[in-house]
Amino acid sequence: MGEGRIELKPVDSGPSTNFSMLAVAILAAGKGTRMNSALPKVLQKIAGNSLVERVLASCSDLKPDQYFLIVGHQAELVREKLVNIPKLEFVLQEPQNGTGHAVQQLIGVLKGFEGELLVLNGDVPLLQPKTIQKLVDEHRSSQAGVTFLSARLSEPKGYGRVFADSQGKVEAIIEDRDCTDSQLLNNLTNAGIYCFNWKKLIKILPRLSNKNQQGEIYLTDAVAMFDKAMHIEVDDPNEVSGINDRIQMAQCEALLQRQLQNYWMKRGVTFIDPKSCTLSQECNFGSDVIVQPQTHFQGNCLIGDGCHIGPGTLINNSKLGNNVKVLYSVIHNSKIGNEVLIGPFAHLRPESKVAKNCKVGNFVEIKKSTIGENSKINHLSYLGDAEVGCDVNIGAGTITANFDGERKHQTTIGNGCKTGANSVLVAPIILGSNVTIGAGSTLTKNIPSNSLAIGRARQFIKEEWFDPDRDQN
Ligand code: UD1
Ligand code: MG
């Protein structure tokens, strides 16, 4: 497996640098019956991005003139997810009569087109851009009608088999279901990634038939109809793994995770137990980060130098400064400053900002709140919709009562405040700076700076309450 990360950058990356025209078609109309899912197969995700997004990203370096996405099964849903991608045109295939039928839908759309058509299966998500570049380059230099990627697999079941001579000249592709027993012994498989000379393909497409075991129009049948068809065997078969069921999806996820982790390990990140951790494509790390077992990074994460994350931690779409330590905690859409200590068992919910040198301890939940520098929320607290100043000590069990049953309200806590254990701050409420709150208080009114506030029932003592004569039995 290639060690480079594929950048999932926007598809439109400037003017085409290729001298001859290149169009890309991604086949994404199939249902993906073998997935047994309500979601179309190409929208299934690995490492946080859908299969079709990955396929699009894998060819964006080629700067094609136009992308076509062949959609059919749940076309609207697929379109909705990808509608903002520039240069992407959706082509409807209705009904879905096979991969050849899918490409036939381009006959009208690409009228007069004279360049190459790169066809990518929407369910082959691990392709490296350099492999596609090599395919296009070799196709252009060999002048073949079609050149496609092949792979020798130890377990070729399910894949079309490639019958070719030793020079790479192809006679035919025969689908797994249509192979004879002896043909099935051939382990050279079709990867589903083709570069066609469009002018030659357009003459062949109408001649494809559906006389096969599935009764579908196969794109693979086109290969035998060209004067010259070539294949290029990929160096790493993992790159062209197709996803037809959830077992193959898990295998691809594992391959991608290894690839991402190797990439970051080479750049100074330690994974104590890589197999138990997952990363997203958009995750970025500084140097000397230590990732403990059972730790997961999702979405867009930026983890600063020297952070220690985990064990047992989930970080989603969040930015952590340098030397942050997070232990058994969950952080969503939040921003954490340098030297902050989080956990064990803290939950930072979206829109939380914790400034440098803070401590967020055990069983603390923070939501949509800003915590100033050097503040401590060490135990058993909930802060929601709160603005907390610097050098604040939030006592154990302090709660912001931010919800009145209908609306959320704001709590403001000034610099240097100290809340006693089990304080309830009923929002909206403002505490000035250097306020001290007595333990067990329920506070409903604003408190001026430098005051002590206590809001609890007075302690009452009745002596001699225990009467040995009455209470004994
Ligand atoms: C296909 C190839 C097979 C190859 C394998 C590589 C054919 C006939 N077979 O088999 O030789 O080894 O990929 O992974 O091409 N699709 C449409 N419209 C349709 C049917 C499918 O757009 O009517 C799309 C699917 O959404 C999918 C892609 O084409 O993204 C491939 O279809 P799939 O059914 O997975 O083909 P395979 O059986 O994997
Ligand atoms: Mg497939």
- Domain chopping of the chain, boundaries: 8-240, 246-453
Q: Write down the mean pLDDT value for the chain.
A: 95
- E strands within 228-329? 229-233, 269-271, 284-285, 289-291, 295-298, 302-303, 308-309, 313-316, 319-320, 325-326
Q: What is the Å distance from ligand 1's center to 311 Cα?
A: 41
Q: Domain 246-453 is of which CATH architecture?
A: 3 Solenoid (2.160)
**What does residue 38 show for φ and ψ, rounded to 5 degrees?**
-75, -20
State whether the beta carbon of 102 lies less than 6 angstroms from ligand 1. yes
State whether the beta carbon of 281 lies less than 6 angstroms from ligand 1. no
**CA–CA gap between residue 375 and residue 383 (Å, rounded):** 13
Global pTM reads: 0.91
Q: What is the pLDDT of residue 303?
A: 98
Q: Is the pLDDT reported for residue 15 higher than 60?
A: no
Residue closest via CA to ligand 1's atom 25 equals 30
The tens digit of pLDDT for each residue in 116-166 reads: 999 999 999 999 999 999 999 999 999 999 999 999 999 999 999 999 999
The band of 6, judged by pLDDT with boundaries at 50, 70 and 90, is low
Residue carrying structure tokens 């926007």? 10
**CA–CA gap between residue 132 and residue 130 (Å, rounded):** 5
Q: With beta carbons less than 8 A apart as the criterion, state whether 22 and 64 touch.
A: yes
Quote the DSSP letter at residue 22.
Answer: E
| Closest ligand to Cα 122 | 1
Q: With beta carbons less than 8 A apart as the criterion, state whether 456 and 440 touch.
A: yes
Max distance between CA atoms of the chain, in angstroms, equals: 111
**Which ligand 1 atom minimizes the distance to the CA of 122?**
30
| Closest ligand to Cα 237 | 1
Q: What is the mean pLDDT of residues 25-35?
A: 96
Q: With beta carbons less than 8 A apart as the criterion, state whether 302 and 320 touch.
A: yes
> Which H/E stretch holds residue 223?
helix 220-223
Q: With beta carbons less than 8 A apart as the criterion, state whether 119 and 106 touch.
A: no
Question: In this prediction, what percent of the chain has a pLDDT beyond 70?
Answer: 96
Residue closest via CA to ligand 1's atom 8 equals 218
Q: What is the pLDDT of residue 470?
A: 86
**CA–CA gap between residue 89 and residue 82 (Å, rounded):** 10
SS3 415: coil
Q: What is the amino acid identity at position 372?
A: G
Q: What is the pLDDT of residue 7?
A: 59
Q: What is the Å distance from ligand 1's center to 54 Cα?
A: 16
Task: Report CA dihedral (169, 171, 176, 181) to the nearest 10 degrees.
Answer: -110
Q: What is the mean pLDDT of residues 179-202?
A: 98
Catalytic member of 73, 308, 347, 379:
379
State whether the beta carbon of 100 lies less than 6 angstroms from ligand 1. no
Q: What is the pLDDT of residue 471?
A: 79
State whether the beta carbon of 93 lies less than 6 angstroms from ligand 1. yes
Q: Is the pLDDT reported for residue 348 higher than 60?
A: yes
Q: What is the Å distance from ligand 1's center to 468 Cα?
A: 86
CATH of segment(s) 8-240: 3.90.550.10
Q: Is the pLDDT reported for residue 212 higher than 50?
A: yes
Q: How far is CA 313 from the centre of its chain?
A: 17
State whether the beta carbon of 241 lies less than 6 angstroms from ligand 1. no
Q: What is the Å distance from ligand 2's center to 242 Cα?
A: 5
State whether the beta carbon of 219 lies less than 6 angstroms from ligand 1. yes
- By mean pLDDT, which of 4-13, 223-232, 288-297 is the weakest? 4-13
**CA–CA gap between residue 371 and residue 391 (Å, rounded):** 10
Residue closest via CA to ligand 1's atom 13 equals 192
Q: What is the pLDDT of residue 286?
A: 98
State whether the beta carbon of 98 lies less than 6 angstroms from ligand 1. yes
Q: What is the pLDDT of residue 168?
A: 87
**CA–CA gap between residue 165 and residue 233 (Å, rounded):** 12
* Residue 417: C-alpha distances to residues 324, 409, 426, 456 (Å): 24, 20, 16, 19
Which of these, 295, 242, 221, lies nearest to 264 by C-alpha position?
295
Give the sign of the dihedral formed by CA 250, CA 191, CA 107, CA 116: positive
Q: Is the pLDDT reported for residue 269 higher than 80?
A: yes
Residue closest via CA to ligand 1's atom 29 equals 27
Q: What is the pLDDT of residue 20?
A: 58
SS3 60: helix
Q: What is the mean pLDDT of residues 252-256?
A: 97
SS3 246: helix
The long-range contacts involving 447-450, CB below 8 angstroms and separated by at least 24 positions, are 449/414
**Which ligand 1 atom minimizes the distance to the CA of 189?**
12
Any catalytic annotation for residue 379? yes
State whether the beta carbon of 99 lies less than 6 angstroms from ligand 1. yes
Q: What is the mean pLDDT of residues 188-204?
A: 98
**Which ligand 1 atom minimizes the distance to the CA of 244?**
35
- E strands within 86-218? 88-92, 116-121, 146-152, 161-164, 170-174, 188-197
State whether the beta carbon of 337 lies less than 6 angstroms from ligand 1. no
**Which ligand 1 atom minimizes the distance to the CA of 158?**
38
**Which ligand 1 atom minimizes the distance to the CA of 221?**
8
